[in-house]
């Protein structure tokens, strides 16, 4: 795993965008998983701008949505689907066959998990997975205590996740379950890139990078990834021992 500390969120976002672009440049049929959330927002905007400015061919790349709130429809602005459509899929005009997002409204959640896993494996697995980190160390909706051997699955949300998750919604929304790619997807991805920014992420980044590797803090699995990249800003790095 490689740790890169940037001056601020803007520098971090430029580097993350560059890495995603370069992945598609090097392998036009890349399969890339995108997280939602505040952290990668600027990186995605820079990514779509760079792709067009540099005229990089992206007709053959596939986008995978990392996770979704169960029971939240895609037209809700707080859904992960709405986020990825607005910030990546629509700006790039991706074709319907070029992406797959979890349907959090389906009556067949187990079938939705199988369909996602098949979609990814039929395309040769993930080349790059871009993830953020929850305040409790979750990745996607892989909450503390999750099995590291899972692929797509449905999970009861941790209280911290349900509470913090309200920030994405205009109105208070009942958030009880999530559907998500699993830690196995991250472990098997050729490259895994974790982004974290701001002071509020400093304690969990300390636990992630300096605590015991354990599924109590799912993000610690990044340290075992042979091609793991952790991009954080100075504020998120402020509690790291080596930087004191």
Pick the piece of the chain touching ligand GLP (CB under 6 A) from 53-61, 89-97, 130-138, 206-214.
Answer: 130-138
Please give the helix or strand (H or E) that residue 43 lies within, else none.
helix 41-53
Rounded CA separation 37/52 (Å): 23
* 67 part of the active site: yes
Compute how many other C-beta atoms are within 10 angstroms of the C-beta atom of residue 53: 10
**2-6 and 228-233 beta bridge pairing:** parallel
Binding-site member from 165, 182, 218, 228 for ligand GLP (CB under 6 A): 165
Pick the piece of the chain touching ligand GLP (CB under 6 A) from 55-63, 101-109, 126-134, 185-193.
Answer: 126-134
User: By rule CB under 6 A, what string of x and - marks binding of each residue 12-41 to ligand GLP?
Assistant: -----------------------xxxxx--
**79 contacts ligand GLP (rule: CB under 6 A):** no
Among 181, 134, 183, residue whose Cα is nearest residue 162: 134
Rounded CA separation 164/178 (Å): 14
* 38 part of the active site: no
In the window 175-234, what residues touch ligand GLP (CB under 6 A)? none
- Binding region for ligand GLP (CB under 6 A): 35-39, 66-67, 131-134, 140-141, 161, 165
């Amino acid at each position: 795993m490689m740790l890169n500390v940037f001056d601020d969120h803007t520098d971090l976002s430029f580097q993350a965008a560059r890495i995603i672009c370069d992945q598609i440049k090097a392998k036009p049929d890349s399969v890339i998983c995108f997280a939602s959330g505040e952290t990668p927002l600027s990186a995605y905007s820079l990514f779509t701008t760079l792709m067009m400015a540099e005229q990089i061919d992206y007709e053959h790349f596939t986008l995978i949505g990392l996770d979704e709130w169960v029971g939240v429809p895609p037209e809700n602005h707080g859904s992960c689907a709405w986020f990825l459509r607005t910030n990546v899929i629509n700006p790039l005009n991706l074709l319907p066959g070029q992406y797959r997002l979890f349907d959090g409204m389906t009556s067949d959640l187990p079938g939705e998990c199988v369909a996602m896993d098949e979609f990814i494996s039929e395309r040769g697995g993930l080349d790059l997975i871009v993830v953020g980190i929850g305040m409790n160390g979750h990745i996607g909706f892989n909450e503390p205590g999750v099995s590291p051997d899972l692929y797509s699955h449905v999970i009861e949300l941790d209280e911290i996740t349900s509470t913090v998750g309200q920030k994405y919604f205009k109105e208070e929304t009942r958030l009880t379950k999530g559907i998500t790619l699993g830690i196995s997807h991250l472990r098997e991805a050729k490259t895994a890139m974790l982004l974290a920014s701001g002071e509020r992420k400093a304690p969990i980044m300390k636990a992630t990078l300096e605590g015991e590797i354990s599924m109590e803090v799912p993000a610690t699995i990044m340290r075992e990834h042979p091609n793991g990249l952790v991009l954080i800003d100075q504020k998120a790095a402020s509690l790291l021992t080596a930087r004191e």
